[in-house]
Chains A and B, each alone.
Chain A
Amino acid sequence: AQTVTQSQPEMSVQEAETVTLSCTYDTSESDYYLFWYKQPPSRQMILVIRQEAYKQQNATENRFSVNFQKAAKSFSLKISDSQLGDAAMYFCAYRVLNDMRFGAGTRLTVKP
């Protein structure tokens, strides 16, 4: 079974600084999708960024970017110029067809 591991249960960052959240996954598939979701205290699941495994170029969305290392099965999220509103739980997720697996999450605190 595919598994997703987020090795950092908690992280903190100073406002305006950069932070990187780690994610590794285990799979035997070659074609899959990877996602980072943000969950604020409101409980909503908000898509931050996604990456198709067949694309070598790392995805970026404004202040959010990923470092996708397919051979290493690693998918880290970098948040630049951190803002107070970035404070939330962040989940890494992996999907092949209809099978979607989530990591346990990383709680990000942003210090003013």
Chain B
Amino acid sequence: NAGVTQTPKFQVLKTGQSMTLQCAQDMNHNSMYWYRQDPGMGLRLIYYSASEGTTDKGEVPNGYNVSRLNKREFSLRLESAAPSQTSVYFCASIGVIYQPQHFGDGTRLSIL
């Protein structure tokens, strides 16, 4: 049982390049989330998808777009990467709202 799988695990981009981070879960979960983790700030919610076909902004959505491709997959896109988007990105999912989130292993993204 793979749980939540994120690809890639590491990526280096140049300023202005675009990039899509992929996330897939095999637990038949309804809700999926994207977070970023910066030093000294914990995790902050970028976007979430409460169910297939819906997406909503979180705490820090600027500079990002998301797509809930199907129930399993939720991607995060940086259209024009900026150094301020250098971070570790986590995807998470839950089946029902009172359950804890299952996290992927994270993607370390560096933008030069």
- The answer to whether A100 and B101 have CB atoms under 8 Å apart is yes
Count residues on chain A whose CB falls below 8 Å from chain B CBs: 23
Residues of chain A from 1 to 37 with CB closer than 8 A to chain B in the complex: 1, 4, 9, 33, 35
A44 CA to B43 CA, complexed, in Å:
13
A105 and B45 alpha carbons, distance in the complex (Å): 16
Instruction: Select one of A100, A101, A103, A104 contacting B33, CB under 8 A.
Output: A100
B25 contacts chain A at the CB level, 8 A cutoff: no
Query: Across the interface, do B103 and A45 meet the contact criterion of CB distance under 8 Å?
Result: yes
Q: Which residues of A contact B (CB under 8 A)?
A: 1, 4, 9, 33, 35, 42-45, 47, 50, 52, 91, 93, 97-105
Chain B residues packing against A (C-beta within 8 Å):
31, 33, 40-45, 48, 50, 56, 58-59, 88, 90, 92, 97-98, 100-101, 103, 105-106
The 3 A-B residue pairs with the shortest CB-CB distance, nearest first, are A102-B42, A45-B103, A102-B43
